[in-house]
Structure 1
Amino acid sequence: MPKNKIMIVEDEGLTAAYIQDIVESLGYVVTSHEFSGEDAIESAVKGKPDLILMDIKLHGRMDGIETATEILKRMSVPIIYLTANSDKTILERAKITQPYGYVLKPFNSKELQSNIEMALYKHRTECNLKDSLFYDTLTCLPNRALFFDRLGQALKQAKLSRQSLALLMIDLNDFSSINSTMGNKFGEPLLVDAAARLMACVGEADTVARMGEDEFVILLTNIADTNAVCDAATKVILSVGKPFYVNETNCALGVSIGISLFPSDGDTLKTLLKEADIAMYRAKEAGKNQYRFFDETCDQMNRDVGFLLNKVCGFVTEHRGTWDHDGWVDLVIDVKRHGIPFSNDVTQYIGVLLETIKKIYASALALPITIDVEKLIPAMCHETLAFIMENDSIWKQDDWNLLLTKIKAHGFKLTEDGNHIIRDLLESINALYVLLCKNCSYGK
C-alpha cells in the first residue's frame, strides 16, 4: 500500500527538521519542506501531498492561513496548523479554512501522530461520502444526481454557443431475467463489463451515467449532425452486443436506445429525458437491440439481410472457397444493385462474413463423411439469422447450446475450432443486421 505523502511548511529550519524526523519515523513520506507561502502553493500543486503541516507564521508576504486559503482553492487536501500562538483572533481566522487540526508548539511525536492519523481518516471518509453521493458504487459511473447537474450545465452552454446535444437512453435488454436466474454474483460483474463498454464508446467530453439497475444514459455534447448520433448509437449496440464471458459462462445482452435531440426535440432537461425514455420504449417495441429517435417512424428491412446471406453463401460455394478481387467487386455490385443501403461498415462485415463462411467451407470438406456443402452453408447461416431475430440478439448459455444442437443436426462438426467459427458467424451476421437496420431506418 502506498505511503501517505506529507508536505511541511515551516519557517524555522530546526523545527522543520524535527517535524520531518517525526513524520518519517511514523512511516510517512515528506514531499518537500517550504519556508514561504508562495513556494508552498507551487509545491502543493506539483507534489499533490495527502496532508499539509502548516506553520501560521511564515517568511514572505503571506502567512499560513492565507497560504492554506489559496491552496484549498486549487485542491482538496487536509491541513493541520502548527503554531506557538493561541491568540483567539488567529484561531478564528484559521477556522475559515476548516483545518483538520490545530497543534500548539511545543508538541511531542504522539500528539502529532494522533492529529495526522485522524486528519487523514476524516478526509478519506469525507471523500468516500462525496463519491457515494455522486457516483454509482458498482460501476463507478456518475449517478442520477451528478448526471442531472452535468446535463443542466451542458444545456446552458449549448444555448449560449448554439450547439447541439443528444441524449441516448439505454436499456440492457433481458438483464433482469439473467440477474434473477444467475444471481448477483453473475449480474453485478455483467453490469460492470457493460458499463466499461459504454464508456469506451464515447469521447472525453461526453458523459455516461447509470440511471437505474439496468438503465444507462449517454450525453453527447457538441455533435456535428444527427449522423454522428447514429454512429454513436450503432457503436453502443455493436459493443454491448458482443458476447460476455462472466464466471466461465457465456451470455449476450442487447440494448434498446431512445434518442432525443437538443434543440429540435426540446430545450429543457425534463423534456429531453422524457422524450428519450419514450423513444427507448419504441425501440423495445420494434424488436429490441435497436435505436429510435423520438420522432422516428421508419421500419427495419429484415429481408435484405436474408438476401445478403444467400448471395454471400452462393458466392463462396460457387468459387469453391477461393476468389480474386474481380469476384469480390462483382459481389458488391450485385448487392448494391438489389438496393441494399451500403456503407464502409457494411462492406467490412461482408468481408468478415465471407472469411467465416470460407472457414466453414474448408471445415466441411475436411469431414470424413460426405456433406452437401451447398446446402450446409446457407442452412447454418439462416439458422443463425433465425436465432438472432427470434431472440432479438439477446441470449443465454442455454440458448447458445440449442443453436449448437441445431447446427450440429445439419452435419457440422462441433470441435473447439467449430464453436469459434459459429461465434464468428453469429457476430458477423448480427453486426450486418444492426448496420443494415441503421442505414435503412434513418430517414431524417
Structure 2
Amino acid sequence: MDIVIKLSQFLLSLSLLIILHELGHFIPAKAFKTRVEKFYLFFDVKFSLWKKKIGETQYGIGWLPLGGYVKISGMIDESMDKEQMALPSQPWEFRSKPAWQRLIIMLGGVTVNFILAFVIYIGMTFVYGDMFIATNDLKDGLLIENPVMQKAGFQTGDKIVAIDGQKVLKFDNQMNAQILMAKQVLIERNGVQQTITMPVDFVDQLSKLEKGPLATIRMPFVVGTVSEESKNKTLQPKDVVLRLNEEPAKYLDQAKAILEKNKNKLIVAGILRNDKEMQVPVQVDGDGKLGVQLAALDLASLEKLGYYKVSKQEFGFLESFSVGIQKGADQLVGYGKQLKMIFNPETKAYKQVGGFAAIFNIFPSTWSWEVFWNITALLSIMLGVMNLLPIPALDGGHVMFLLYEIISGKKPSDKFLENAQMVGFVLLITLLLFANGNDIYKAIVGK
C-alpha cells in the first residue's frame, strides 16, 4: 500500500507539472496563430495509451513517463522533422513568426513553472500558515548526532545563530537545507559564539552515511510500550523520564549517556506520571537499555510537557502573497546554490545527482496534501531552472538562439539549428543517463 501511495503522488505531481509546462508553450502558440500538431503527456514512442484529435491538434497520453511535449509546426525540435522544414514556410508555422513571438512561446513553459510554484507557496501560506519553534526558545540547543556534523565541529547543545551571515530566527524544516549548502555557520555554545567553516566536500561526506537530519530538536525520554521481556514493569506507557541515578535526564540524549554508564545496574529513575513526579527502580541491561519502546511526540505534546513553545503564525489572504512570494524566492535561490555546488568539482556534490528514482523517493509513504504541494512547488522550480539551461534540446537553448537573433538581427540557419539540436539532445541524454545511473548505483551499493 505504501508503494501505491508514493507512486500516486509521484505520477500526480509529475503529470500536473508536465501538463502545465506544455500549456505554457501551447497557449501563446495558439494566441499567435501558430499550429500545434501534438500535445502529449508522457512520450508516445511507437504508440500511445490514448489519443484524440480535436481541431488541428492531437492530444494524447504516451506510455513512457519521462516528460511530455507539444509539437509546434515549423519548429526544429526533438522530432527532427526535416521533411517539413525542407518545404517553404507557411504563415501558421513557428519559423514564420517574428522573433519576439517565438521567444514568448519558448519562455511560456518555464514561466508557468515559476508562476505555479509561487501560487502554491502563496496558497500553502494562507491555508497552513507557519508552525515553528523560535530559536530563542531552544534554551538547551539542538541535538547533533550526525557524525559528519560532529566532525565539522558541531556538538549537541549548540544553538544555530546565523547561516552565511543570515540570522536564524526559527527552527523549521528549512534549517537543515540551509546548513547543507552553507559556507559558514555561526553557533552559540555555552554562551560563547563561534564560527564553523563548513567542509567543501560536506555533501559528499554525508552521502557515505545513512540518511538522517543534520540537526534536530532534543526530545524527552517518554515510554511508549514496555516489552514482555523487560524487567522494568515499574515503568508505564507515557512515563516521562526526568532523572536517572540522581543525574538530570531531561532529554533522551542525556538519558542514553547515563544508561551507558550504568550497564547491568539497578538504578533509580525519577519520572513524571499523570502530572506527578515519583521515583521507581529500573534495571539497566547489558546494552544500556531499559527494555522499552519510545513514544513519538508531536510538537503539541512537547509544548504541553513544557519542553518548547510552539509558535504558529497565520496569514490573511493579502498577507499570504508577500510571504508566499518570499518563500518561493528563497527556494529559487536555494536551488541555485545547489546547482552551483553540483557544478563545483571540489564539493563532489555531482555524485548525489539523482533521476526519477530520486524524485520518487522524495514523496512520503503516507498521503499529506501539505507535503505533496510543498514537493510539487519545489519540483516546479527545479523544472523551470533546468529548462532554462542553455542546452539546445531544452527551452533555454532555443531562447539562447532567439536572443542572438534579436540582438544581432541574424537568424541562425536551419542546418545549424538542426546540428545544435542533435548535440543538445546527446548532451541531455548523457545527463539523464548520469542522473539515473546514480540512482541505480545507490540502489546497488545501498548508499
Look at both structures and tell me which one has the larger radius of gyration over its CA atoms: 1
TM-score normalized with structure 1 length: 0.23
More helix by share: 1
TM-score normalized with structure 2 length: 0.22
